[in-house]
Amino acid sequence: MSASTEIRPLLKQPERLEARLKEIPPEPGVYFMRSSNGDILYIGKSKKLRSRVRSYFRDSQKLSDRIAMMVRQVMEIEFIVTDTEAEALALEANLIKKHQPYYNVLLKDDKKYPYVCITWSEDYPRIFITRKRRAKNKRDRYYGPYVDTRLLRYTLHIIKRVFPLRQRRQPLFKDRPCLNYDLGKCPGVCQSMITPEDYKKIVQKVAMVFQGRSDELVGTLKTQMEKAVERLDFEKAAKYRDQIKALYNLNADQKVSLPDDTVSRDAIALAADDKHCCIQLFQIRAGKLVGRLGFFADAKSGTPGAILQRVLEEHYATVEAVEIPTEIIVQHELPEGDILTEWLSDKKARKVSLINPQRQIKAELIEMVERNANYELERTQRVSDRNTEALQDLATILDLPELPKRIEGYDISHIQGSNAVASQVVFVDGVPAKQHYRHYKIKNPDIKIGRSDDFASMAEVISRRFRKYKRADGENTTWDFKGEPDFPDLLMIDGGKGQLSSVVKALQDMNLLEVVKVVSLAKKREEIFLPGESNPLDTDSEQPGVQLLRRVRDESHRFAVSFHRQQRLKSSRRSRLAEIPGLGFNRQKQLLAHFHSIDYIREASVAKLTEAPGIGRSLAQEIYNYFHPN
């Protein structure tokens, strides 16, 4: 087979595709879709592997836009056969967690629903709210996403008030704890006044709250309180009493009227229109609503039952066995519910029931969950309608043939040429897509302290942004951007005619000006400039399309300034250390990571300096002598 044939996707090689499909057995298992560079695009499971994989390549099969784009990139198909469907589901969950394929994300990454993260990978775990679920370490745990942000923040506030937890990521003082220790809010983590093992026992109690095990935690705390009373340790008993009272207050108004209050159950329902699908999952433990989770999915990604099944699979794949309820109430019958129940029962080591109620109290519970999902859908529709209106207005202003689905904004930030950086922000369908944001450090050697050039900086950034589409064939150069999911429909440059002209020149040099639509937005009067036009467009600064460009401009400016400040802070930290003989860049990083600031390094003795990684006795003496010349 020739090299030119090998780099073509399977969809464009019918004979090779058919031969590959015949090799796949009609047995249960897991399949992998790989790209040209070997990356895993998608991992799936099926009762019959051959039929399922073949369905992706049938012309009659209606695929979602997301999956259709994935199929066009498939270069190779691999599979693993299992004995049962439940084993296939368990294997799929583990492989997705390990490889995190791009196209396996059914649930959209919506930033308005926050998570709680506990960093178990650290000796002294932190607990914080985040809107990004990106585990840097497999031991870290995420709980959520929670719909009620106000209640979540209140819960975390109460927890930090009654449980002694670390309050700061970095210590305030080098050799003593801060006021939080004296107030009993922190056990002195910064000075290791509590062992990591004892501290993790406290965090494990807090984790039980987010696992929906508050009643179990209350029982544990009551036992500990009684033992403290028996020891006549009334001060510790009072702390346990306050913790129990706080936990009671958290769930005081969360009662749900259901029989069998001792049964832990989840109830899940969705509401959908032509585009959006909002899913709500209510966590009910001992008759109390302890959590309300929210998810978003593409309404075209499957039937309501298939979407619910996939949500449950993704959700329960990331939780611990103790968090899985014994009963799950679903709005629609699941296509592979028997496989899901078998998998969950094996994971929990206890029977898990899946119920699709038609009447009585449990059906009313599903109706309540569905009503909440409908409210979220209506809110999503309102936001979507506003964004669509803004995109339509922008398309009219710029005379675009189609709505600009992907808009990229660029800005430059520096102080008189020092630490010059640029930002690239991305808006998809009028909404910030922060996973696609990018920073640039300006590499032009002519731009330095005392000499800035925003025009040259912007031209450099645009050239670097589009050079990946360059294809060299001998002496000929072509630009291949067809089918690329990250190719922009519109570029928005922060600035006036000068910045725009530099970008236009860069695009002309790459022969891309005809295919890339670019505009600039000047700050003073919110004026829009087009290439080759000396006068701005006749627009109203308050009309929806201009407001959308302003949001893109403001976000690109914010992102550039924040990155510039980071670079400036790093430079200021390293500027003095760089003057010390024998202290290279890597050792400067190690030294700062160990002491956290220049002030602590200056105050450290030679013996303390040698405790830092990579710092020997002679180098420590050099560092000490630099800060203490007398």
Task: Return the pLDDT at 4.
Answer: 41
* Nearest in space to 293 (alpha carbons), one of 303, 282, 304, 302: 282
Residue closest to 610 by CA, chosen among 597, 593, 591:
591
Cα–Cα distance measured from residue 160 to residue 140, given in angstroms and rounded to the nearest whole number: 19
Q: Going by DSSP bridges, is the β-strand pair 490-494/518-522 parallel, antiparallel, or unpaired? A: parallel
308, with CB counted inside 10 A (0-12, 13-18, 19+), is: buried
* Rounded distance between C-alpha atoms, residue 520 and residue 529, angstroms: 5
Secondary structure in 3-state letters for 197-254 = HHHHHHHHHHHHHHCCCHHHHHHHHHHHHHHHHHCCCHHHHHHHHHHHHHHHHHCCCC
Please tell me the pTM assigned to this model.
0.64
Q: How many angstroms separate the CA atoms of 196 and 193, rounded?
A: 10
Collect all residues with Cβ–Cβ distance below 8 Å to 435 and sequence separation of at least 6: 109
- For residues 493 and 520, the answer to whether their CB atoms sit within 8 Å is yes
Distance CA 411, CA 521 (A): 11
Q: How many helices (H) and strands (E) does the chain have?
A: 20, 20
Cα–Cα separations (whole angstroms), residue 357 to 175, 257, 411: 61, 16, 55
Residue type, 170: Q
Q: What are phi and psi of 301, to 5 degrees?
A: -80, -5
Nearest to 100 by CA among 293, 314, 332, 300: 314
Quote the pLDDT of residue 439.
Answer: 92
β 115-118/141-143 pair status: antiparallel
Query: What's the rounded Cα separation, in Å, for the pair 253 and 203?
Result: 25
Give me the phi and psi of 117, to 5 degrees please: -115, 135
Specify the amino acid at residue 444: N
Q: Are 164 and 185 in contact (CB under 8 A)?
A: yes
How many Cα atoms within 13 Å fall on the side-chain side of residue 76? 11
State the DSSP string of 62-126. Answer: ---HHHHHHHTT--EEEEEE-SSHHHHHHHHHHHHHHH--GGG--B---TTS-EEEE-TTSSS--
Find the angle CA(534)-CA(538)-CA(539) to the nearest 5 degrees: 130
Q: How many Å apart are CA 366 and CA 368, to the nearest integer?
A: 5
Q: Are 39 and 100 in contact (CB under 8 A)?
A: no
Q: Could you give the dihedral angle defined by the CA atoms of residues 61, 64, 69 and 75, in that order, rounded to the nearest 10 degrees?
A: -50
pLDDT (0 to 100) of residue 290: 78
**Beta-bridge partners for 117:** 128, 142
pLDDT of residue 361: 80
CA-nearest of 115, 116, 127, 138 to 199 is 127
Q: How many alpha carbons lie under 13 Å from residue 27 in its C-beta half-sphere?
A: 11
Strands in 40-46's sheet, in edge-to-edge order, are 40-46, 29-34, 76-81
Per DSSP, the three-state class of 530 is coil
Rounded to a whole number of angstroms, the distance between the first and last alpha carbons of the chain is: 75
Series of mean pLDDT values for 10-residue runs along the chain (630 residues): 57 88 92 88 90 84 74 90 87 81 65 80 88 74 81 82 82 81 86 90 88 80 87 85 77 54 85 88 82 84 87 86 90 90 90 87 88 90 88 92 92 86 92 88 84 88 87 67 78 90 90 88 85 87 91 93 86 70 81 81 87 87 83
Predicted local distance difference test score (pLDDT) of residue 108: 53
| CA distances in angstroms from 138 to 133, 174, 317, 319, listed in the order given | 12, 30, 13, 12
137: number of Cβ within 10 Å? 9
What is the chain's alpha carbon radius of gyration, rounded to the nearest angstrom? 29
Compute φ and ψ for 152, nearest 5 degrees: -65, -45
Query: Residue holding tokens 């106000």?
Result: 150
* pLDDT on residue 260: 60
The confidence score (pLDDT) of residue 163 equals 85
Sorted by sequence, the CB contacts under 8 Å of residue 19 that are 6+ apart come out as none
Contacts (Cβ under 8 Å, ≥6 apart) of 223? none
pLDDT value, residue 396 = 92
With the C-alpha atoms ordered 591, 592, 598, 600, is the resulting torsion angle positive or negative? negative
Domains and CATH numbers, the chain: 3-87 (3.40.1440.10), 115-250 (no CATH), 265-287+297-379 (3.30.420), 406-569 (3.30.420.340), 578-627 (1.10.150.20)
